Amino acid sequence: NTGERKVHEMIQRFGLETFRDGMYALLDYAEQQARRLICNMPDGTYFFSDYMDEDSVDGHPCRLALTLTVQGDELILDYSGSDPQLAASMNIPTGGDERHVLMMIGLIYTLYTIDPTILLNSGLLRSSRCMLPEGSMVNPQFPAAVGMRSLSVMRVMSVTLGAFAQVAPEIMPAACGDGGPLINVRTTDNKTGRRLMANLDPITGGGGGTPFRDGTEGSGANFAFLKNTPVEINEAEVPVKILQYGLATDSGGAGRYRGGTGTTLSFQVF
């Protein structure tokens, strides 16, 4: 492991105490950077909410709501308006941790958008805290199902960006199309009887429109680091024919700087 090896080399060269001092200094500096950025935000309370289409159990939309408060050099992210914990597995197991990283990803994206030179470490989170109501989908109680929490975390990021777009409209993008359902194809090889499975590309929305350009096509903030699987690979691994894979025409909305278009996938399984 290259990272582990480099850490040991630094400790051997500078000593454990110096290494620790440097590590904590980086955390402190990231905190200072975050507080400086927050101080430049207008004090106030900002609200944004969004929904997942349904929970796949009860069939009703799932609401995530954020009330964002800016106070000097601190932020409060209050999720009190979110739905009670779900029967489905899309609950986010935070344990009520007021700085749980799954609830802070959107904040990290925001600070990095405002200042790309900011240090990316946990020191950024010291200036902020979350309010996560017990028994809600953002702080579920046992025996809540949590296996599909990644879907809810994506929507948390979108809600966070939506709130910060009100705080800093001159730089922040609108909330992105954050959904990314994965299409799994499982079938049986007619010749060998072997079971085959492939994970086709996720169907993603586009990035939110910005004050100075259109949103990113076919990729919201949650999927900006992914590459698509070539059509030829999918068709070679399982008996499937990709009929269409591309951008969904006019799905980005209207406006001087519209949102990015989402993707569309049509396929046939043999």
First to last CA, the chain: 43
pLDDT number for residue 224: 62
pLDDT number for residue 221: 60
Distance in angstroms (rounded) separating the CA atoms of residues 108 and 45: 19
Token reading at 122: 């946990």
For residues 138 and 82, is the Cβ–Cβ distance under 8 A? yes
pLDDT number for residue 220: 66
Within the chain, where are the H helices?
Answer: 2-14, 16-39, 105-114, 149-167, 231-237
Q: Give pLDDT tens digits along the chain (270 positions).
A: 899 999 999 999 999 999 999 999 999 999 999 999 999 999 999 999 998 887 777 778 899 999 999 999 999 999 999 999 999 888 999 999 999 999 998 899 899 989 999 999 999 999 999 999 999 999 999 999 998 888 888 889 889 989 999 999 888 888 777 666 777 788 887 778 888 877 777 777 788 888 888 888 877 666 666 777 888 888 888 888 999 988 888 888 888 888 888 888 888 887
